[in-house]
Amino acid sequence: MPGRGRPRGYAVIDLETTGLRPSWNDRVIEIGIVHLDPAGEVTGEWATLVNPGRDLGPQHIHGITAADIRHAPAFGEIAGAVAERLDGRVLAAHNLPFDAGFLSHEFGRLGLDTPLDHTAGVCTMAWSAQFLPGAPRSLAACCARAGVSLNGHHEALADARAAAGLLRHYLALAGPPAPWEPLIEAVRDAAWPTAGDPGTAGVRRGVAAERDPHFLTRIADRPPAPPRPEAATSYLALLDQALLDHHISVAESDALVRLASALGRAEAERLHLGYLAALARTVLAGGPATEDDRHELALVAALLGLPPEAADRALAGGPASPPPDFTRFRLSPGDLVVFTGEMDGPRDDWEWRARQAGYVPHGYVTRKVRLLVAADPDSLSAKARKARDYGIPIVTPDAFARMLGQAY
């Protein structure tokens, strides 16, 4: 894909990544691109999440969920769209060596050579020394000094828009010609590879909420059939594991739908009501239900796709068929527990808390492991994939903290 003669201005980019070093298998997970004409006016923008095929790193920083990432294309699927949007333009970014290095590495994984070079672009962080003297170098600080809006920091398109605003500010201060004018002419000869369909649509944050309906609605209706206690028991055991952290992940949802295919939706709803009734009986066995008890049962009812009044009916002893006997999940002293992802607090602290409760932290997932604690229950990490293969429950750190409280 050769450069197309007349330079078309700038492509301001920002990336969110799983970490800081592509040489350590860190990957791009979101890209935002804003087009500016040579005068600095915005002419277009584009963004997408990118599925890295691994865990997402510091999610507390970038805020991207694995549930959304599962709908996103791999970099190979959007390489053509990226190349098309960079061809014939001067690359710009806040910390250009970082972004250009990661992009170059992603194209390199596909065996594609590109003209990406951080010395042949505009780094708004480096140029801040001239145009914003004395300002800290971070994107937020530079934007504050220049009066550029930064909404949604650490979202790729929002940060690309902010960097584009800084570039426009620099162009206004410099006046023509821009100090990097030779770069605009140099892109005439830059050759970009043909890298697939340039029209691939992007996938934005929040897509999981739009595309992942409640699992109960995905269970097919079936004619009434003779009871199958073994199928019901297996389904309830999986349901109990999924509800350990008061969250049904996408992977757990898929597993429940697969298992319920032998039951049908009506039977699944009956089992959900029976499960909720069993929880209510457990609560009432310890005395009158508290507000916390009522809140928890209402939450479980919602997760099961039941109407809000179902929890109140269960506590009032409303009619519900008792569920088949099944073994509820419990951790026991000596059980192996594995951790994955970047959680709130050092991993050593979580392992210490697990030991204090009598559990044994383990470094990797085997069939003997009883529980995986994941920063994101939809994690794409190798540990999470193996846990799902082995049927090992995956819970959030908050849920594990509650389990630890029960263990003391």
> In whole angstroms, what is the distance from residue 128 CA to residue 141 CA?
10
Q: Per the domain annotation, does 271 fall within a domain?
A: yes
Q: Per the domain annotation, does 330 fall within a domain?
A: no
State the CATH number of the domain containing residue 201.
Answer: 3.30.420.10
Q: Are residues 261 and 141 in the same domain?
A: no
Q: Are residues 388 and 287 in the same domain?
A: no
Average pLDDT over the chain reads 90
Q: Which of 191, 208, 225 is the last residue of a domain?
A: 208
Q: Are residues 57 and 174 in the same domain?
A: yes
Q: Mention every residue, 6+ apart, whose C-beta is less than 8 A from residue 55.
A: 18, 66, 340, 341, 376, 379, 380, 381, 384
pLDDT at residue number 185:
77
| Strands across the sheet containing 369-374 | 360-362, 336-340, 369-374, 394-395
Mean pLDDT of 306-318: 87
- 2 or 81: which leads in pLDDT: 81
Q: Are residues 263 and 246 in the same domain?
A: yes
Q: Are residues 177 and 284 in the same domain?
A: no
pLDDT at residue number 226:
63
348-379 exposure pattern, b = at least 16 Cβ within 10 A, e = fewer: eebbebbeebebbbbeebeeebbbbbbbbbbb
- 139 or 192: which leads in pLDDT: 139
Q: Per the domain annotation, does 4 fall within a domain?
A: no
Mean pLDDT of 182-189: 79
> In whole angstroms, what is the distance from residue 103 CA to residue 152 CA?
22
Q: Per the domain annotation, does 3 fall within a domain?
A: no
pLDDT digits (tens, 9 = 90+) for 352-390: 999 999 999 999 999 999 999 999 999 999 999 999 999
Q: Are residues 128 and 234 in the same domain?
A: no
Task: List residues bridging with 14 in a β-sheet.
Answer: 32
Residue 129 has pLDDT above 50, yes or no: yes
Q: Per the domain annotation, does 243 fall within a domain?
A: yes
Find, among 29, 78, 25, 80, the residue nearest to 52 by Cα: 29
* Domain housing 374: 336-407
Q: Per the domain annotation, does 328 fall within a domain?
A: no
Q: Are residues 355 and 368 in the same domain?
A: yes
- 259 or 159: which leads in pLDDT: 159
Q: What is the tally of structural domains in the chain?
A: 3
State which amino acid sits at residue 103: L
Residue 5 has pLDDT above 70, yes or no: no
Find, among 405, 339, 326, 345, the residue nearest to 369 by Cα: 339
Residues 10, 122 contacting (CB under 8 angstroms): yes
Q: Are residues 224 and 287 in the same domain?
A: yes
| Strands across the sheet containing 42-49 | 42-49, 28-36, 10-17, 90-93, 121-123
Question: Which tokens belong to 52?
Answer: 């890295």
Query: pLDDT confidence of 399, banded at 50, 70, 90?
Result: very high
pLDDT at residue number 209:
79
Residue 189 has pLDDT above 90, yes or no: no
DSSP 194: P
State which amino acid sits at residue 165: G
Q: Which of 208, 236, 258 is the last residue of a domain?
A: 208
**Percent with pLDDT over 70 in the chain:** 94
Q: Are residues 304 and 363 in the same domain?
A: no
> In whole angstroms, what is the distance from residue 212 CA to residue 335 CA?
33
- For 276, the 3-state DSSP assignment is helix
pLDDT digits (tens, 9 = 90+) for 322-341: 666 777 899 999 999 999 99
Q: Per the domain annotation, does 89 fall within a domain?
A: yes
Q: Are residues 41 and 179 in the same domain?
A: yes
Q: Are residues 16 and 160 in the same domain?
A: yes
Find, among 230, 243, 235, 240, the residue nearest to 329 by Cα: 240
Q: Are residues 355 and 283 in the same domain?
A: no
Q: Which of 147, 175, 208 is the last residue of a domain?
A: 208
State the CATH number of the domain containing residue 398.
Answer: 3.40.50.10190
